[in-house]
Chain A
Amino acid sequence: MSGRNHSDLLKPSNAQRVGRVALIAAALAFLALFLLLPVTIVFTQAFSQGWAIYRASIYQEDVLSALRLTGLVAAIAVPLNVLFGISASWAITRFEFHGKSLLITLIDIPLAVSPVVAGLMYVEVFGLHGWLGPWLSDHNLHIIFAVPGIVLATVFVTFPFVARELIPFMQAQGSDEEVAAVVLGANGWSVFWRVTLPNIKWALLYGTILAASRSIGEFGAVSVVSGHIRGLTTTLPLEVEMLYNEYSFTAAFAAASLLTLAAIVTLVVKKIIEVTSGVHRHGEEKESES
């Protein structure tokens, strides 16, 4: 009896049903208009002159060098991020220390600050007229308008990704397993490799994917510090902009299609991680359990 009443209560009224359909339709229309359509246009524009031109646009020396630089920057920034992310989240979730909440706030700064401001800060510090500028030029070190500056700017904007993914996850997991490992005689190294890392591996991978995708696509901060020297300090996003400004639309869209492809791959990998590991589901389960 009561069971039937219950399901009656759950059954939506007609008005509710109409509202639901309208909401879903609005969301889908939005998605189509602002996401699906632009992505399709990127690819149709890129291939508008045919496969041969597309291929030729990408195989330009400048585009290839931009591609290489983007890869190099990501290859430096992402591992640094992983290292920082693990140490910061380990410190925050496993130890009590003064300034802990300050550290948590600091980690979020790159998300709050506009990337352009981040770029300008580096120019202020390392630029020719900046703080360390004279000293750097005396020692013939180039940071601004050179690759090191681009790496620094990318590291800055991608800073929070791994840490922000790991901190809540490690908090939910607690340190019981690590304490248990220590009592069983494991040293710090064994604890990390045998217990901590296997437990956080999916969350870590998830954060790494996000950081990688951001470091490939970063425009603002990099734009300020790069100096746009073709073939030397242009990353792929900068190259797209430059090509576009020179009215090389097909080439610009061809390069853009590479970035879009990278983003799609990221999304697919991210989804696979979510499904196979239950990273996000897992965290919630743990919380509700305790």
Chain B
Amino acid sequence: MSIQVEHICKQYGSFTALDDVSLTIASGELVALLGPSGSGKTTLLRIIAGLEAPDGGSILLHGEESTAHSASKRGIGFVFQHYALFRHMTIFENVAFGLRVQSRKIRPSRRVIRERVTELLRLVQLDSFARMFPDQLSGGQRQRVALARALAVKPKVLLLDEPFSALDAKVRKELRDWLRRIHDELHVTTVLVTHDQEEALEVADRVAILNHGKLEQIGTPQAIYDHPASPFVYNFLGNVNLFHGRLLADLSADGSASTQEESIQTAIGFVRPHELELSRTLPDGWKSVEGSVVRIHAAGPQVRLELSIAGSGRPFTAEVDRRRFEELALVPGEKVFVWPQSIRLFDSDGARALLDQGAGI
């Protein structure tokens, strides 16, 4: 079932949670709503679910106007950040709940309910836990029960509100892969809210990035990673979690790396740490910046170098692979020449992209 979000606005007192957000999610798609806290992503999810009413705009489910429909009538499955399992019911009863509360006319027979619950518990690999209570399970297991419970009523849309954020990193990664497999198996239209860019980029078919209640960009993970539409998206996707480094900003403002005719105006340039080339000698024909090595982090497959630009002392980070690092054999305090393989330039207030170029500046 497709979801159309049209010009949704939501205000909490003087705080604008959502400001004219529109997006369309195709049937069977898995879309991640990504953004920092306070960006409105959870509010949007709750409005799609019918748990919150928008101040303006409308929600269309399968092309049908649904803004006024109550949450219990929308045929959705919702998975909460803190599981929200019924603590006084067994795992079996938790999963069966949605079927048991159906009106007598459409409620399946006891036998059918039993079969369906058993089948779902098998799907989430918890069939041996049916008689246990939620507090006897680990966080990851509880969230799988919550997913089985949401799927029991055969929802046309599955909504997940930061489902893995309360779990530790390893379990989170496992569940993420597992969610993707379940989605590929069932093809339920799924919306996942997360503040974890790695999670969004890895799991989703498309990622929608929200900031201050506005939709910044929506696209496939590769598209938004390769072509961020705004400095915010660039910064947000370049977080330490994904790249284990900070962005290098302002190379062009420093003067030496600006190569285009447009350099008459001030601009912000973005280069990811791994897109920087390093050399001990001044390269021919390349415009480079002279920097000095402040610190070296050599643990892991990539070596991260904290550098500072000679003169201004502005800090930046570069990442090189191990082989290259051994060739360079740098130690802290040494001078090094740095140039970008690719760079993206925005004008100084970040409103307009000036240059989005791959290799070969």
Which A residues are closer than 8 A to B by beta carbons?
Answer: 176-177, 179-187, 190, 194-195, 198-199, 290
**Given that A177-B87, A195-B86, A198-B88 are known contacts, is A184 also in contact with B80, CB under 8 Å in the complex?**
no
Provide the residues of chain B in CB contact with A187, threshold 8 Å: 72, 101
Chain B residues, CB < 8 A from A183 = 49, 51, 71-72, 76-78, 150
Q: B143 to chain A: closest CB distance in Å?
A: 13
10 pairs from A and B in contact (CB 8 Å cutoff): A176-B84, A180-B86, A183-B51, A184-B97, A184-B101, A185-B72, A190-B101, A194-B101, A198-B89, A199-B87
Query: B296 at the A/B interface (Cβ < 8 Å)?
Result: no
Give CA–CA (A199, B85) in the complex, Å. Answer: 12
**With contact pairs A186-B101, A187-B72, A190-B101 given, residues A180 and B80 touching in the complex (Cβ less than 8 Å):** yes
Of A181, A182, A185, A290, which is within 8 A of B86 by CB? A181
Complex: chain A residue closest to B89, CB-CB: A198
Query: Could you tell me the distance in whole angstroms from the C-beta of A174 to the nearest C-beta in chain B?
Result: 8
- Which positions 301-355 of chain B face chain A at CB distance < 8 Å? none
Specify which of A176, A186, A190, A194 is in contact with B80 (CB 8 Å cutoff).
A176
Residue of A at shortest CB range from B73?
A185
Find chain B residues with CB under 8 A from A198 CB.
86, 88-89
CB distance from B211 to the nearest CB of A (A): 27
Give residues 83-138 of B contacting A (CB, 8 Å): 84-89, 97-98, 101-102
Query: Which B residues touch A177, using CB under 8 A?
Result: 84-87
Q: Which of B55-76 contact A (CB under 8 A)?
A: 70-73, 76
4 cross-chain pairs, A with B, having the tightest CB-CB distances, nearest first: A176-B84, A184-B98, A186-B101, A180-B84
A180 lies within 8 A of B78 (CB): yes
With A177-B86, A177-B87, A195-B86 as known contacts, state yes or no: A185 contacts B78, CB within 8 Å.
Answer: no
CB distance from A98 to the nearest CB of B (A): 14
Cβ contact within 8 Å between A185 and B84? no
Q: B interface vs A, CB < 8 Å?
A: 49, 51, 70-73, 76-78, 80, 82, 84-89, 97-98, 101-102, 149-150, 152-153
A181 adjacent to B101 (CB under 8 Å): yes
Most B Cβ at <10 Å: residue of A177, A187, A190: A177
Which of B78, B80, B86 counts the most A-chain CB atoms under 10 A from its CB?
B86
Q: When the two chains form their complex, are residues B153 and A176 in contact, meaning their CB atoms are under 8 A apart?
A: no
Contact in complex: A179, B84 (CB < 8 Å): yes
Contact of A185 among B51, B80, B88, B102 (CB under 8 A): B102
The secondary structure that dominates the A interface is helix
A190: chain B residues at CB < 8 Å are 101
Distance of A201 from chain B, by nearest CB (Å): 8
Residue among A179, A181, A186 making CB contact with B51, cutoff 8 Å: A179
Given contacts A176-B82, A176-B84, A195-B86, contact A181 B97 (CB under 8 A): yes
Smallest beta-carbon distance B43→chain A, Å: 14
Which residues of chain A come closer than 8 Å to B150, judged between CB atoms?
183-184
**B153 and A185: CB pair below 8 A?**
yes
The minimal Cβ–Cβ distance linking A228 to chain B, given in whole angstroms, is 47
Kindly provide the distance from the CB of A159 to the nearest chain B CB, expressed in whole angstroms: 28
17 additional contacts, CB 8 Å, given A184-B98, A184-B153?
Answer: A176-B82, A177-B87, A179-B51, A180-B78, A180-B80, A180-B149, A182-B71, A184-B72, A184-B149, A185-B153, A186-B101, A187-B72, A187-B101, A190-B101, A194-B101, A199-B87, A290-B82
Question: Are A194's CB and B97's CB within 8 A?
Answer: yes
Task: Considering the complex, give the chain B residue whose CB is closest to the CB of A195.
Answer: B86
Given the complex of chains A and B, what is the CA–CA distance between A179 and B84 in angstroms? 8
Bound CA–CA A195/B84 (angstroms): 11
| Chain B neighbourhood of A199, CB < 8 A | 87-88
Residues of B within 8 A of A179 (CB): 51, 78, 80, 84
Residues of A within 8 A of B98 (CB): 184-185
Give bound CA distance, A176 to B86, whole Å: 9
- Chain B residue numbers with a CB within 8 Å of A186 are 72, 97, 101
Contacts of B49 in A (CB 8 A): 183
Contacts of B82 in A (CB 8 A): 176, 290
Residue of B nearest to A190 (CB): B101
Give Cα distance in the complex from A187 to B76, angstroms.
15
Bound CA–CA A35/B49 (angstroms): 58
Chain A residues with Cβ below 8 Å from B87 are 177, 199
CB distance from A144 to the nearest CB of B (A): 45
Contacts of B76 in A (CB 8 A): 183
CB distance from A58 to the nearest CB of B (A): 42
Report B-chain residues with C-beta under 8 Å of the C-beta of A290: 82
A179–B50 Cα distance when bound, in Å, is 11
Asked if A182 meets B84 with Cβ closer than 8 Å, knowing A190-B101, A194-B97, A194-B101, the reply is no
Least CB distance, A217 to chain B, in whole angstroms: 33
- Please name all residues of chain B whose beta carbon is closer than 8 Å to the beta carbon of A194 when the two chains form the complex: 86, 97, 101
